[in-house]
C-alpha cells in the first residue's frame, strides 16, 4: 500500500528548496515581480480606460469590473503558485527529460508540480492585497457565506485554470509543438475574463461556461456576490456562483484522466 | 530470476513525408504511416546479482528495451517483469525497486548544491533516515563526493556530476539499476572510478545491473554476460568469453623489423596476411586455429632480424564491430577481410 508520507515530505522539501533559491536568484525575483506588476497594472489600466468611455457595462460599474479582475487574479495566481510548472511538460517531453518522472515512485504529475525552481508566492500576495483593496470599492458585505463562496471561487478557480493547462500540456504526448494552442487558450482566458460574460454573444458564453469554464473563475461568483442576476438580456442564476469548486473538481478529474492516458502514450524521444 | 522479458516488441508509427513543392502541406493532412519495429521479439532472463552488458549499434533498440523495462514505454506486444512487477502497469511500485542513470541527462537539480538533490530524493523515495545516512557516508567515501557536495550542480565537472548521479540513483538501495551510457564523455580516470563503483556495489550489495554502452571497455571490465541486439532483434546472449572464443579467433602479430627496404617484406604463410606496414613496423593478422604463432615468428625470424614482437587477441570492440558489419555467420568472420584495425591492437599487451 502506497503511503502518503513521501508526498508531503517531498512537498515540504520542495518549498524549502524554493526559498533556498530565493537568496541566490534575488535579482531574478525582483525582475519577475516588477514584470508581474507591470503586466497586471496595464491590464487594470485598460479596464479603467474602457470603463471611462462606458461608465456602465451591462449594468456593471467600473469598480465591479475591477472586482471581476481581482477575483480572477486571485485564482490564477493561486494556480500560478501551486501548479505553475505544468506548463513545462511539453518542454520536458520534447527534450527527453520527462522519462525521469516515470521511473520514480511518485505520481509524475505530483513530481512536475513539485519541481524545485524559482517559484515563490509573491504574485499571490500581491493579488491578495489588490483584492483586499477592491472588495472595499464594491462594498462587499462579509458574512461566512460570502467568505465561503470566495474561497470556493479562488480554490475551484485555480483548479479550473490548472485543469485547462494540464489538458493542453497533455496533448504534448501526441503532438510535438503546442506553443500556438497554448497561446490561443491563454489569450482566451486573459481576454475574455476581463469583462462581464453578458457582453459577449452566445457562442462565447457557451464556450466560457462549458468548454473552457473560465466564467466560473470570476464571472459567476462575482455575479452572485454582487447580486447581478439580470444583466441586459442575460439572466444569471445566483446558484451558479457556488458551483466553481464542483466545476474545478470535474474539469480537473477529466484532465487528470486524460493525462493518465497520455502517460501510456508517451513515446520518449531520443536515446 | 529478477528480470524476465518475453517477446518484447515495440513499434513506432511515423508519418511518411510527402515529396514535392506542396509536400509539407500534404504531410500535414496525410494518414500514411510507416511502422518501424524498434524492438522485435526480444526475450531474456536475468538472475539477481548479474551485471549484464546490453549492447548494439545506434538505433538497435537498446534504449527502447530499457525504457520498457523501466516503465517509460508500453510495449506493442510481449511482456516483461522486474522482480514480479510489470513496469508500465505499476510504475510507482517499479520505481521503488529500480534505479536509473541516464549518462546524458542528469537527475540532479541544476541550481542546488548536490546534497540538496540527495535530500529531495530521500523524500521522494521515502528512504529511512538511518539508511540514508549510511548510504550517504558510503557513497561519499567511494565516490569522493565530499570535495563538491555543497557545490551547485551546474558548477560541477562532468565527472563530478556523474559521480553525483550514481549516488543519487543508489540512495534508495534499488534491486535493479539501469545504466544508459554511464561513462559517455568521461576521461579515463573518471571512467575507471565509475566502473569500480559499479563493480563494488554489484559485489557487496548483490545489486543487478543492466548496462548499455558504446564503450566496450566498460563491458570487458565489468560484465561476464552480454546481450547483443541489432535492428531490434537479439543476436547474441551469452558470456563475453564465449563470444571472444567463437568470433575472436584472429590474432595480430606486430613486429618491428630491422630492414632496409621494408616495403618489400613478404610473408608466405597460408592464413596470415599483412594488414599494415609503416616503416619497419609490420602488422600481420592470422587465424589462431589455422596458423601457429610460433611457426609464424620462426618464419619471420628466418628472413628478417626482429627487434620487437607482440601478439594480441582482438579487443572486444573489434569483434563486436565485425558482428555489426557481417552478422554472426560462421566463426571466422574477422579473419575473412582483415577487418581488425591495427590501432586497437597496439593498445593490447
Residue A172 lies in a domain: yes
> Count of CB contacts below 8 A, A vs B?
90
Assess whether pLDDT exceeds 60 at residue B349: no
Say yes or no for a CB contact (<8 Å) between A271 and B88. no
Give the confidence band of B344 by pLDDT, cuts at 50, 70, 90.
very low
Which domain covers residue B306, as residue numbers? 249-346
Q: Decide which of B193, B217, B243 is a domain's last residue.
A: B243
pLDDT of residue B104: 86
Q: Which residue of B has its CA nearest to A117?
A: B111
Closest alpha carbon to B287 in B312, B252, B242: B252
CA-based nearest distance A203→chain B, Å: 28
Q: Does A271 reside within a domain?
A: no
Nearest chain B residue (CA) to A98: B72
pLDDT for the residue numbered A233: 64
Residues of A with a Cβ under 8 Å from any B Cβ are 2-3, 5-6, 9-10, 12-14, 17, 20-21, 24-25, 96-97, 99-100, 102-108, 111, 116-117, 263-264, 266-268, 270-271
Residue ending a domain, choose from B243, B275, B292? B243
Residue A203 has pLDDT above 50, yes or no: yes
Best-predicted range by mean pLDDT among B21-35, B198-212, B214-228? Answer: B198-212
Residue A254 has pLDDT above 60, yes or no: yes
- Residue B343 — very low, low, confident or very high, per pLDDT cuts 50/70/90? very low
In terms of average pLDDT, the best of A26-30, B200-204, B251-255 is: B200-204
Average pLDDT over residues B63-68: 94
Segment B140-157 mean pLDDT: 94
Residue B3 has pLDDT above 60, yes or no: yes
pLDDT at B331 over 60: no
What's the domain count of chain A? 1
- Can you give the pLDDT at residue A210? 92
For residue A254, tell me if it sits in a domain.
Answer: yes
B168-196 confidence digits (pLDDT tens): 999 999 999 999 999 988 999 999 999 99
Chain-wide mean pLDDT for chain B?
86
Last residue of one domain, picked from the residues B219, B243, B267: B243
Which residues in chain A are closer than 8 Å to B95, comparing Cβ atoms?
102-106
- The 3-state secondary structure of chain B reads CCEEEEEEEEEEEEECCCCCCCHHHHHHCCCCEEEEEEEEEEEEEECCCCEEEEECCCCCCHHHHHHHHCCCCCCCEEEEEECCECCCCCHHHHHHHEEEEECCECCCCCCCEHHHHHHHHHHHCCCCHHHHHHHHHHHHHHHCHHHCCCCEHHHCCHHHHHHHHHHHHHCCCCCEEEEECCCCCCCHHHHHHHHHHHHHHHHHHCCEEEEECCCHHHHHHHCCEEEEEECCEEEEEEEHHHHHHHHCCEEEEEEEEECCCHHHCCCCCCCEEEEEEECCEEEEEEECCCCCHHHHHHHHHHHCEEEEEEEECCCHHHHHHHHHHHCCCCCCHHHHHCCCCHHHHHCCC
Task: Assess whether B184 and B294 both reside in one domain.
Answer: no
User: Is the same domain home to B93 and B238?
Assistant: yes
B173 and B156 co-located in one domain: yes
Residues B267 and B126 placed together within one structural domain of the fold: no
Within a domain: residue A48?
yes
Q: Please check whether residues B110 and B171 belong to one and the same domain.
A: yes
Same domain, B123 and B195: yes
Residue A216 covered by a domain = yes
Q: How confident is the model at residue A29 (pLDDT cuts 50, 70, 90)?
A: confident
Interface touch B105/A100, C-beta < 8 Å:
yes
Q: How many structural domains compose chain B?
A: 2
Query: Do B224 and B322 belong to one domain?
Result: no
Structure confidence at residue B27 as a pLDDT band (50, 70, 90): low
Give me the domain span that covers residue A37. Answer: 5-265
Query: Do B233 and B257 fall within a single domain?
Result: no
Q: How confident is the model at residue B332, as a pLDDT?
A: 40
Whether A2 has a pLDDT exceeding 70, the answer reads no
A70-87 pLDDT, tens digit each? 999 999 999 999 999 999
Q: Could you tell me if residue A270 is inside a domain?
A: no
pLDDT at position B83 is: 96
Instruction: Supply the DSSP symbol for A209.
Output: I
- Asked if B192 and B98 sit in the same domain, the reply is yes
A-chain residue closest to B62, CA distance: A271
Residue A232 lies in a domain: yes
Amino acid at each position: 500500500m502506497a503511503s502518503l508520507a513521501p508526498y508531503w515530505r517531498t512537498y515540504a522539501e520542495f518549498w524549502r528548496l524554493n526559498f533556498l533559491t530565493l537568496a541566490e536568484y534575488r535579482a531574478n525575483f525582483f525582475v519577475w515581480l516588477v514584470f508581474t506588476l507591470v503586466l497586471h497594472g496595464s491590464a487594470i489600466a485598460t479596464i479603467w480606460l474602457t470603463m471611462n468611455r462606458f461608465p456602465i457595462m451591462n449594468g456593471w460599474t467600473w469598480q465591479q469590473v475591477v472586482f471581476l479582475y481581482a477575483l480572477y487574479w486571485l485564482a490564477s495566481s493561486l494556480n500560478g503558485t501551486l501548479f505553475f510548472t505544468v506548463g513545462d511538460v511539453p518542454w520536458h517531453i520534447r527534450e527527453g527529460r520527462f522519462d525521469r518522472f516515470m521511473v520514480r515512485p511518485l505520481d509524475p504529475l505530483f513530481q512536475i508540480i513539485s519541481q524545485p525552481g524559482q517559484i515563490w508566492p509573491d504574485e499571490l500576495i500581491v493579488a491578495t492585497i489588490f483584492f483586499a483593496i477592491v472588495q472595499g470599492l464594491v462594498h462587499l458585505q462579509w458574512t461566512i457565506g460570502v467568505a465561503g463562496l470566495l474561497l470556493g471561487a479562488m480554490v475551484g478557480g485555480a483548479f479550473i485554470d490548472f485543469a485547462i493547462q494540464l489538458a493542453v500540456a497533455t496533448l504534448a504526448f501526441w503532438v510535438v509543438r503546442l506553443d500556438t494552442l497554448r497561446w490561443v487558450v491563454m489569450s482566451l482566458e486573459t481576454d475574455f475574463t476581463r469583462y462581464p460574460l453578458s457582453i459577449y454573444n452566445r457562442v462565447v458564453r457557451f464556450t466560457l461556461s462549458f468548454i473552457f469554464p473560465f466564467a466560473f473563475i470570476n464571472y459567476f461568483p462575482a455575479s452572485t456576490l454582487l447580486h447581478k442576476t439580470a444583466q441586459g438580456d442575460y439572466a444569471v442564476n445566483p446558484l451558479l456562483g457556488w458551483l466553481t469548486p464542483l466545476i474545478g473538481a470535474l474539469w480537473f478529474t477529466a484532465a487528470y484522466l486524460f493525462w493518465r492516458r497520455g502517460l501510456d502514450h508517451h513515446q520518449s524521444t531520443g536515446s | 530470476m529478477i528480470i524476465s522479458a518475453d517477446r518484447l516488441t515495440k513499434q513506432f508509427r511515423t508519418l511518411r513525408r510527402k515529396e514535392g513543392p506542396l509536400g509539407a502541406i500534404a504531410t500535414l493532412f496525410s494518414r500514411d504511416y510507416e511502422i518501424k519495429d524498434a524492438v522485435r521479439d526480444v526475450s531474456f532472463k536475468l538472475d539477481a546479482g548479474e551485471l549484464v552488458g546490453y549492447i548494439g549499434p545506434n538505433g538497435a533498440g537498446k534504449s527502447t528495451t530499457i525504457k520498457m523495462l523501466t516503465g517509460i514505454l508500453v510495449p506493442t506486444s510481449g511482456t516483461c517483469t522486474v522482480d514480479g512487477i510489470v513496469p508500465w502497469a505499476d510504475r510507482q511500485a517499479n520505481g521503488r525497486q529500480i534505479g536509473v542513470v541516464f549518462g546524458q541527462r542528469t537527475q540532479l537539480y541544476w541550481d542546488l548544491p548536490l546534497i540538496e538533490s540527495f535530500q529531495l530524493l530521500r523524500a521522494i523515495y521515502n528512504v529511512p533516515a538511518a539508511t540514508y545516512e549510511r548510504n550517504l557516508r558510503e557513497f561519499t567515501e567511494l565516490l569522493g563526493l565530499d570535495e563538491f557536495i555543497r557545490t551547485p550542480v551546474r558548477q560541477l565537472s562532468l565527472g563530478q556530476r556523474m559521480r553525483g548521479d550514481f549516488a543519487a540513483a543508489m540512495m534508495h538501495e534499488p534491486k535493479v539499476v539501469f545504466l544508459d551510457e554511464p561513462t559517455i564523455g568521461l576521461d579515463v580516470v573518471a571512467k575507471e572510478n565509475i566502473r569500480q563503483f559499479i563493480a563494488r556495489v554489484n559485489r557487496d550489495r548483490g545489486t543487478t545491473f543492466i548496462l548499455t554502452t558504446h564503450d566496450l571497455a566498460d563491458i570487458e571490465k565489468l560484465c561476464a554476460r552480454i546481450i547483443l541486439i541489432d535492428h531490434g532483434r537479439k543476436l547474441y546472449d551469452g558470456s563475453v568469453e564465449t563470444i571472444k572464443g567463437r568470433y575472436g579467433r584472429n590474432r595480430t602479430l606486430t613486429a618491428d623489423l630491422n630492414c632496409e627496404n621494408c616495403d618489400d617484406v613478404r610473408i608466405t604463410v597460408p592464413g596470415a596476411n599483412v594488414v599494415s606496414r609503416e616503416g619497419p613496423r609490420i602488422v600481420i593478422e592470422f587465424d589462431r586455429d589455422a596458423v601457429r604463432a610460433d611457426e609464424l615468428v620462426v618464419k619471420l625470424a628466418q628472413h628478417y632480424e626482429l627487434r620487437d614482437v607482440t601478439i594480441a587477441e582482438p579487443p572486444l570492440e573489434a569483434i563486436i564491430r565485425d558482428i555489426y558489419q557481417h552478422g554472426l555467420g560462421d566463426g571466422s568472420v574477422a579473419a575473412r577481410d582483415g577487418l581488425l584495425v591495427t590501432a586497437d591492437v597496439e593498445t593490447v599487451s
